[in-house]
Amino acid sequence: MLAFALHALIRSSHRLSLSTLHSTRQSVSFGTLTRNDMHNVVFVLGPPGSGKGTICAKIQENLNYVHLSAGDLLRAERQREGSEFGALIESHIKNGSIVPVEITCSLLENAMKACGDAKGFLVDGFPRNEDNLQGWNKQMDGKALVQFVLFLSCPVSICIERCLNRGQGRTDDNEESLKKRVETYNQQTFPIIEHFEKSGLVREVKSERPVDVVYADVEKVFDAANKK
């Protein structure tokens, strides 16, 4: 029954692509916004298993950006002794739903502060929904400059296969949680990507290809952004 539901979901969302939106792209200038006291941020979004963590690790290694995965920060907070949010985080992770932004954004801001003067931050898996976006805008206004949004697009069937074979013992890499995670992505996260696309901020890279091929395209995106 579950496998059937998962299959139906895969068929209904083979690839959500931004191609239809490109005609509405507006140009955005960052000129006067670049200030030394603001953190440079690249949001990294894409379906579960699209390769966000894998690609961010390579960017961090080669391009000097610091990788901050919202999911990893939440998993660490879940494990932290004495955390008042452990049970709440666990229930959201298992259900594939999104933790309230006050928790996630504070974890991200604290991690940025702890890193001091990094060239920039790769904020992986955030903002995932409207609450994340509004909360970020409220909490990080004047503190962070979003350079662009890296969107790793990948057919959902490939993403699910990758998660099921990831072998990291994640409590949400099972069919039941994946069904909910994909639903959350389709219903809540993709509209956020569309929102950024309308401001010309999205850089889409197709991530169903081998890692090195994906990364080569990603590096071109960063080169172009940092030449500005």
Contact letters for ligand ATP, residues 4-43 (x by CB under 6 A): ----------------------------------------
160 vs 58: CA distance, rounded Å: 22
DSSP 168-195: S--TT-SHHHHHHHHHHIIIIIHHHHHH
93 binds ligand LCLUPRNS (CB under 6 A): yes
155 binds ligand ATP (CB under 6 A): no
60 binds ligand ATP (CB under 6 A): no
Residues ≥6 apart with Cβ < 8 Å to 46: 52, 151, 152, 153, 154, 207
Q: Closest separation between CB of residue 26 and ligand ATP, Å?
A: 28
Nearer to ligand LCLUPRNS, 136 or 215 (CB): 136
Residue nearest to Mg ion (CB): 53
Q: Which of 9, 74, 146, 159 binds ligand LCLUPRNS (CB under 6 A)?
A: 74
Do 196 and 28 form a contact (C-beta atoms < 8 A)? no
Q: Which two tokens stand for residue 26?
A: 């507006």
Q: Closest separation between CB of residue 193 and ligand ATP, Å?
A: 14
12 vs 156: CA distance, rounded Å: 10
134 vs 152: CA distance, rounded Å: 22
Q: Which residues bind ligand LCLUPRNS (CB under 6 A)?
A: 48, 69-71, 74, 92-93, 96, 98-99, 104, 125-126, 128, 132, 172, 181
